[in-house]
Amino acid sequence: MSAPDRTPFPIERVRRDTPGVENVVHFNNAGSALPPESVVTTVVEHVRREADIGGYEAADEAEDRLSSVYTSLAALIGAEARQIAVIENATRAWDMAVYGYPFKPGDRVITCRAEYVSNIIALLQLKQRFGIEIVLIDDDDEGQIDLSQLEAELARGATMMAMTHVPTSGGLINPAAEVGKLCTAYGVFYVLDACQSIGQVPLDVDTIGCDVLSATGRKYLRGPRGTGFLFVSDRALGVIEPPFLDLHAAKWVDDGEYVIRDDAKRFENWETNFAGKLGLGAAADYALELTVDATAPRLIALGEMLRSRLDRVAGVSVHDKGPDRGGIATFTVEGITAENVRAGLLASAVNTSVSTPGQARHDLAYRGLPTVVRASVHYYNTEAEIHRFIDVLQTSVIPRP
């Protein structure tokens, strides 16, 4: 076994790289993180270049750098560049794979309580369209997906497993690799929504064993808004077909014939945000340089610290579950709505967001929770910012008795 890495975390450097930390205590990383300066410069310079020499010409000039975006994203998750499609967000990336699956009536799709709202809406539409059956696996006693119930349902026969790794509304980290082992054992197509986990915890598609993985740019990866990507394994490439095709995804080879390209780019479309794509690559490069292996322990420790400080505030209840938790903390304050807590914090330049039960029916609503405040930390946050957050909450948001 290799010795543990005792190199101190380069917190001064990452904060210097992150100009936004001068303005706000940003605990809305699960919404959209503050980007490092390298991402901002990359995007702005490309937009400037488009204005200076023309959009197509700027893209031609950046051809090599655009192609490295795929190499960088692939390296981040242990994949090959040809298995990556750059797509405008995690939802569309997930949709391209799942709407591209050749469902038949009666196909069973297994999912979990943490599954993202848009994915559930899509599955409900696919149920109406094709007569698929949606099977919901319960949480175990600790709050993560119940692996024994999952195995029992897989043994009954299933077509697809769709799981969200880290939900939008809580600290839970679902056991993605254990689920992958079960899916492999039962030959079930495994779709992992890694929207909140990319950049937050290390991801390796071989270890996880997923067929496809969807991710976004703007959250824990710290990329620009309006960017995301899809990983498609070689096996999955032979199973799913893009629900839409264009001249980038396919070639019109004869008057009545087309041929779909053979890599994951078949899930992309031709026109795209080139500046955003380059910015996404810069975000992946920044994560690769720091390494998610090195940033994740700090992020997880800050998440734990935030929850334990919140636990000690009178009138506050923390609602995160699961044996493994990351940087997202959800809580309510007795007698104050989550929206008002958020607004009170924002007035002191402390950014959070809220999660509504209507967007998490199988989780928050099922647990009988109202709208909760979501405070989500990143590795560039500090203990001092957690103190500040608690201080503002206690002094400016929660009225004194």
- Kindly state the smallest distance separating residue 109's Cβ from ligand PLP, in Å: 16
Residue 385 interacting with ligand PLP (CB under 6 A): no
Q: How many angstroms separate the CA atoms of 362 and 379, rounded? A: 29
| 256: region left, alpha or beta (phi > 0 left; psi from -120 to 50 alpha) | alpha
- Kindly state the smallest distance separating residue 162's Cβ from ligand PLP, in Å: 11
Residue 91 interacting with ligand PLP (CB under 6 A): yes
Give the nearer residue to ligand PLP in terms of CB position, either 340 or 359: 359
- Kindly state the smallest distance separating residue 115's Cβ from ligand PLP, in Å: 8
Q: Could you tell me which stretch among 9-17, 18-26, 87-95, 279-287 binds ligand PLP (CB under 6 A)?
A: 87-95
- Kindly state the smallest distance separating residue 221's Cβ from ligand PLP, in Å: 10
- Beta strands at 316-318 and 353-355: parallel, antiparallel or unpaired: unpaired
The interface with ligand PLP within residues 332-371 (CB under 6 A) comprises none
Residue 168 interacting with ligand PLP (CB under 6 A): yes
- Kindly state the smallest distance separating residue 183's Cβ from ligand PLP, in Å: 19
- Kindly state the smallest distance separating residue 132's Cβ from ligand PLP, in Å: 20
Residue 89 interacting with ligand PLP (CB under 6 A): yes
Give the nearer residue to ligand PLP in terms of CB position, either 167 or 242: 167
With H, G, I as helix, E, B as strand and everything else as coil, classify residue 336.
Answer: strand
Please enumerate in sequence order all residues whose Cβ is within 8 A of that of 146, keeping only pairs 6 or more positions apart, or say none: 137, 138, 139, 140
Q: How many angstroms separate the CA atoms of 156 and 235, rounded? A: 23
How many helices and strands in the chain, by DSSP H and E?
14, 15
Residue 18 interacting with ligand PLP (CB under 6 A): no
Q: Could you tell me which stretch among 160-168, 199-207, 251-259, 311-319 binds ligand PLP (CB under 6 A)?
A: 160-168
- Kindly state the smallest distance separating residue 206's Cβ from ligand PLP, in Å: 22
Q: Residues 93, 229: contact at Cβ < 8 Å?
A: yes
Angle among Cα 279, 91, 42 to the nearest 5 degrees reads 5
Give the nearer residue to ligand PLP in terms of CB position, either 15 or 367: 367
Amino acid at 309: R
Give the nearer residue to ligand PLP in terms of CB position, either 59 or 163: 163
Structure tokens at 155: 């043994």
- Kindly state the smallest distance separating residue 26's Cβ from ligand PLP, in Å: 16
Task: Among 101, 103, 116, 220, indicate the residue that binds ligand PLP (CB under 6 A).
Answer: 116
Q: How many angstroms separate the CA atoms of 272 and 47, rounded? A: 13
- Kindly state the smallest distance separating residue 216's Cβ from ligand PLP, in Å: 3
Residue 174 interacting with ligand PLP (CB under 6 A): no
Q: Could you tell me which stretch among 10-18, 79-87, 191-199, 358-366 binds ligand PLP (CB under 6 A)?
A: 191-199
Please enumerate in sequence order all residues whose Cβ is within 8 A of that of 30, keeping only pairs 6 or more positions apart, or say none: 168, 196, 219, 220, 327, 328, 353, 374, 376
Q: How many angstroms separate the CA atoms of 85 and 206, rounded? A: 18
Give the nearer residue to ligand PLP in terms of CB position, either 167 or 171: 167
With H, G, I as helix, E, B as strand and everything else as coil, classify residue 185.
Answer: helix
Nearest to 161 by CA among 141, 144, 181: 181
Residue 170 interacting with ligand PLP (CB under 6 A): no
Residue with tokens 């500046």: 275
Residue 228 interacting with ligand PLP (CB under 6 A): yes
Q: Residues 18, 37: contact at Cβ < 8 Å?
A: yes
φ and ψ at residue 262, rounded to 5 degrees? -100, 5
Contacts with ligand PLP by CB under 6 A lie at 89-91, 116, 164, 167-168, 193, 195-196, 216, 228
